[in-house]
């Protein structure tokens, strides 16, 4: 999908595009190479990712500005870097390949390491706190909600019985053993959903999303675009909701009547039904399987009064 994402920003007005999840800088590199009218405001909560991206993108000089924070602190980042408006924004949510592949980050059931999973290593709260500190009911809720795991209660009970759990390998073994043998043979690695759920909880991944999308839309100039790639149904629901709110001004009037609530529409939907990756894309990229892309374009504010 990378080509398609980069193409979305071809005609945006000159200025800075927010890369809210700079990661290794892959998307930003292509954006900077292809579209000379834009610079990148790159945010990441992971300092290792920011350092890697700064090295990779050094040749673009001051067309790249970076800031270490959670993306819902966008206003603070723009003030600190003296950027008033955005020409667009890109969110490529979730975890990066280096976070998964570097064993000591403690994200992966494939490598043995201390339970960690913090995207921002300055945060004190880690996977060990969730796994060893939550009640069985809270753990089951997290695993069911963020992992869509049918056996969440069994897994939570097994975790509580085996505490203290110090490592990813031990956690993975406990999860696998808690899932009935027949169910282990479908849907990828049996611990995948539980690890995803714990990671989302540790990093508060859903909490930051709605305010960040709202702010990105608000700070984008007309003609600019906001694109979000999400990998989890809970994320996609939030993205859809915030984009629809901007496209309708959050109008609460009955649909059969004209709008009387002073709602203001600020975007038009470019891609409302999420684009899902092709089989070939899924075969090339292990994260692509669950990706959903939604896009809006900023328009001059329009009162929806009487327009429906």
Ligand X SMILES: C[S@@+](CC[C@H](N)C(=O)[O-])C[C@H]1O[C@@H](n2cnc3c(N)ncnc32)[C@H](O)[C@@H]1O
Q: In the set 9, 15, 16, 24, which binds ligand X (CB under 6 A)?
A: 24
Q: Cα 221 to chain center, whole Å? A: 22
Contact range with ligand X by CB under 6 A, out of 23-31, 80-88, 123-131, 158-166: 23-31
Stretch of 9-17, 88-96, 275-283, 294-302 contacting ligand X, by CB under 6 A: 88-96
Piece of the chain touching ligand X by CB under 6 A; list 21-29, 147-155, 259-267, 275-283: 21-29
Residue among 17 and 247 whose Cβ is closer to ligand X: 17
Residue 43 carries which DSSP code? E
Neighbours of 27 (CB within 10 A): 24
User: Considering only residues 1, 4, 13, 26, which one is a binding residue for ligand X as defined by CB under 6 A?
Assistant: 26
Q: Which is nearer to ligand X, 169 or 211 (CB)?
A: 211
**Nearer to ligand X by C-beta: 21 or 87?**
21
Q: Which is nearer to ligand X, 112 or 207 (CB)?
A: 207
Least distance between ligand X and beta carbon 267 (Å) = 21
Pick the piece of the chain touching ligand X (CB under 6 A) from 39-47, 152-160, 170-178, 217-225. Answer: 39-47
Kind and range of the H or E run holding 39: strand 38-44
- Strand arrangement of the beta sheet that strand 264-275 belongs to: 64-68, 38-44, 15-19, 86-92, 220-230, 292-303, 264-275
Which residue has 């305010």 as its token pair?
211
Examine residue 196 and tell whether it contacts ligand X (CB under 6 A): no
The verdict on 94 binding ligand X (CB under 6 A) reads: yes
> Prior bond to 164 cis, omega within 30?
yes
Phi-psi region of 198 (alpha: psi -120 to 50; beta: other; left: phi over 0): alpha
Count of residues that interact with ligand X, criterion CB under 6 A: 19
Provide, rounded to whole angstroms, the least separation between the CB of residue 26 and ligand X.
3
The single residue among 9, 12, 39, 44 that binds ligand X, judged by CB under 6 A, is 44
Least Å distance, CB 116 to ligand X, is: 13
Query: How many C-beta neighbours within 10 Å does residue 26 have?
Result: 16
In angstroms, rounded to a whole number, what is the distance separating the alpha carbons of residues 301 and 23?
32
Query: Of residues 140-179, which lie at the interface with ligand X (CB under 6 A)?
Result: none
Cβ atoms within 10 Å of 273's Cβ, excluding its own: 10
Q: Which is nearer to ligand X, 15 or 23 (CB)?
A: 23
Which tokens is 301 given?
Answer: 């504010």
Of 44 and 201, CB closest to ligand X:
44
112-118: long-range contacts (C-beta < 8 A, 24 or more apart)?
112/167, 112/168, 112/169, 113/167, 113/168, 114/166, 114/167, 114/168, 115/165, 115/166, 115/167, 115/168, 115/171, 117/195, 117/198, 117/199, 117/202, 117/203, 118/202, 118/203
Q: How far is the CB of 97 from ligand X (least distance, A)?
A: 8
Residue choice 6, 15, 17, 23 for contact with ligand X (CB under 6 A): 23
Structure tokens at 74: 């966008």
Instruction: Give the count of beta carbons closer than 10 Å to the beta carbon of residue 182.
Output: 7
- For residue 66, list its beta bridge partners: 42
Per-residue x/- track, 45-74, ligand X (CB under 6 A): xx--x--------------------xx---
Query: Contacts with ligand X in 206-265 (CB under 6 A)?
Result: 208
User: Which residues of this chain interact with ligand X, rule CB under 6 A?
Assistant: 21, 23-27, 43-46, 49, 70-71, 92, 94, 96, 119, 205, 208
């Amino acid at each position: 999908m990378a080509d398609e994402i980069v193409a979305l920003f071809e005609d945006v007005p000159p200025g800075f595009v927010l890369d809210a999840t700079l990661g290794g800088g892959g998307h930003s590199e292509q954006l900077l190479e292809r579209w000379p009218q834009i610079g990148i405001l790159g945010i990441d909560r992971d300092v290792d990712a920011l350092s890697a991206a700064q090295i990779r993108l050094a040749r673009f000089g001051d067309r790249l500005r970076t800031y270490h924070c959670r993306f819902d602190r966008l206003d603070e980042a723009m003030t600190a870097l003296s950027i008033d408006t955005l020409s667009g924004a890109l969110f490529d949510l979730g975890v990066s390949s280096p976070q998964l592949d570097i064993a000591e980050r403690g994200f992966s059931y494939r490598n043995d390491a201390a339970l960690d999973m913090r995207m921002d290593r300055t945060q004190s709260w880690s996977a060990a706190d969730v796994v060893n500190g939550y009640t069985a009911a809270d753990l089951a809720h997290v695993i069911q909600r963020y992992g869509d795991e049918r056996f969440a209660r069994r897994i939570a009970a097994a975790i509580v019985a085996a505490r203290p759990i110090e490592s990813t390998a031990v956690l993975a073994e406990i999860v696998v053993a808690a899932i009935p043998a027949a169910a282990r043979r479908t849907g990828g690695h049996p611990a995948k959903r539980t690890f995803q759920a714990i990671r989302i909880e540790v990093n508060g991944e859903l909490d930051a999303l709605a305010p960040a999308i709202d702010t990105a839309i608000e700070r984008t100039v007309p003609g600019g675009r906001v694109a979000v790639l999400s990998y989890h149904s809970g994320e996609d629901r939030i993205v859809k909701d915030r984009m629809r709110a901007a496209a309708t001004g959050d109008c609460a009037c009955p649909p059969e009547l004209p709008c009387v609530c002073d709602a203001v529409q600020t975007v038009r939907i470019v891609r409302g039904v999420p684009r899902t990756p092709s089989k070939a894309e899924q075969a090339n990229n292990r994260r692509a399987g669950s990706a959903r892309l939604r896009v809006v374009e900023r328009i001059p504010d329009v009162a929806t009064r009487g327009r429906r």
